[in-house]
Chains A and B, each alone.
Chain A
């Protein structure tokens, strides 16, 4: 929708892996020109949808909720893949599709709150793959550290209560911010103050994933200033690999 960005990089990433991606504007879904069921994966890119007014991702989520909530819910419950990066992650949280510890919720059970630094953090971050139960990253070995850039103002993941947070932390964490030795560390390694250094989570079934760092900005080595790697490619290969196995 208005304010989304990085959709071109995302499109190219999927295309390069041999899939047939399509741009779908929210309005096309709203007026019924395109249907959720026509796809195997719905990817919500980053950006500042609706100017980030109210809260980041809140208006995008409210519009999806008003128009296609049941279609999306059925899509996910049938095993369809949903991925949200940065603003897309914020949308999935506001929508109640993540963490969805006990299933999709009507009200948000978590929030991506303002970074502790109160700054827009736009730089490289190191993330360690945990992969607990995530079907979309089964290609990435546990403990692998990747260099993937972050760019957000609201990325601090908080949960509705401690018990809920601990359970998500044990079962659904896909990526954590770490230092160069792979240890959980505070700012600046953790750019936002996120609970337990969480950078990405999945739902209980492992087919919905959200992450704050931008894998589409680390798909090619030349996207990194020092040509230091293309760890974002792993994320896309994982998603495509799962879709190929499932369908």
Chain B
């Protein structure tokens, strides 16, 4: 292993600009003549717009335009769409309601945009936005997914607010397995609604060039090409080749910046109308009511077991809240990213899952770190843990009895796991967490009036998203391959253009490590280019832990082509047969001779083209590849959480965290561990602190960082992170993906630990001090009896 190659903890190329304040985020980009957009948003969850009076606002100083939904419709700007078709079990297609970028007729959630003011300055636009008079007729609202079907209908296309009623698996076989079971564990589970809260708020800067009829959008997006495609082909803003989308440095995404939002559409449209660049930057309060939220499931789940604790079947019935409109990929999250993962790490013969997706008068819900897989893991790992307690089995033992042991393994819910060793990660986690010593620690804690608990989560996820044909057959509107272009410069330095996008993941470093190792050239001589539709041909962006498994595989394929071409050049240079050229450590040699050519000399010769004719070989050294994966990848592992609960206050402290993950090949362990840390923090946040709360009228009560509890440094411990490795056979590097694992594993580990400590399973997330205290009180009479 070289100091900068695969497996090395190389320090990041990105960091110099970030630690010196030289990052370039969307709000840092300034265009000549830039104006500012401020949106007028609905304060009501559900209302008819009777009238909008913009006359006072229009005459305010520094106001260039005040635009509403009716003008948007007049200009034939199309609706936002959801790009994944789900069919109900009766065969009917999902009920996608119109989603205009500015509301037309009705508003359907607090924060729905009804007008936009374009001002010379932010202050001018803000002042004028306050003068826009909107007359609303209030309509009854529904926010609770469990009550959506009986609530007031939100969209004409969706009776009973039902988007689809989907199912997966064999219901009859599952019923038969339950009938024969010796033990059944049942749980009612609420997977709490979360607000992603990337620290950089969303922003958009649009510029129209009247001379070329070209639009440029700087945007906080995780997938600039998909954004351009949707805005061109569906919204109809401009032809695809007349729209350039640039995603500069992006300050965190976690899924929330995958989607195409109203604000970027409106900024593009407005910039063409006012013939000036238009910038919008969300305030945090706006982020809370416009960024797609995550999770929000209500589930009843059951597990059937035989007398030895062997799982016979699992069934789950889930209501998934998709909010007021169907966001870009919202339909796929509670279906093919959820139901397909309900087998966990276990050999479960039969699984049946029903999911009803519903509209409510809340912010749209879509993918948030893990997206469906945390919800599935929470169902499976809570069921298994509770079953172990009910049956008197150790939590590690029940897992061992049910682990999948041979691969490939076909689950009853579509997925075919390619590789894994679940015993290995459990064993290592048991050692690191010193589970043997837990009894002693529990007794010591009791002496101080504290309740100690231990919680396991042996999770699985499907990453490397995804084989295009497979997702196409499941309803995806796009293919999920990735592209790479490797450009070798005449001086031998290399630029890699990737369709992935980094917003904290460190691609500029890890992708360069791959190139450095493969070509034997200095790490410093490699640049990674991403996030600009004018530079990169096409790509699907970054989410679903896909960039290593899919994006780097595309780079590998392009590098294969580069090596083949470079060998041809070297053969001409050294007057040898192409088949005799060997390439190693940045040097070309002729087999059986002492002839050699350095990488830089071959690169230069490819461009000066003095040693071969155009008829023999094309000059230049640049290759492109599109890589379509052959399967999902299946990262898996074991997280063990140890908590201490103050019985008097219900306050929970996470005192120890062990994570042992199998991500396949690790390119940069420092970065991978960082991804694990961040994922765990978000998972612990969901379990202990975070929850978006709506009142019955549809007001978001947790609408700022003063009300919505984000994990802070003192809420978390340091983490013990270990790795095991089984390589994925589904891609050339053996990578599985690491970005979401922590957020997927953590919530179940925390809740399993707290319920172990307090002796009752009746505990919902977030397990705040108040919730834990209440659970303890409700459990006390039983303990006394």
A-B complex is real:
no
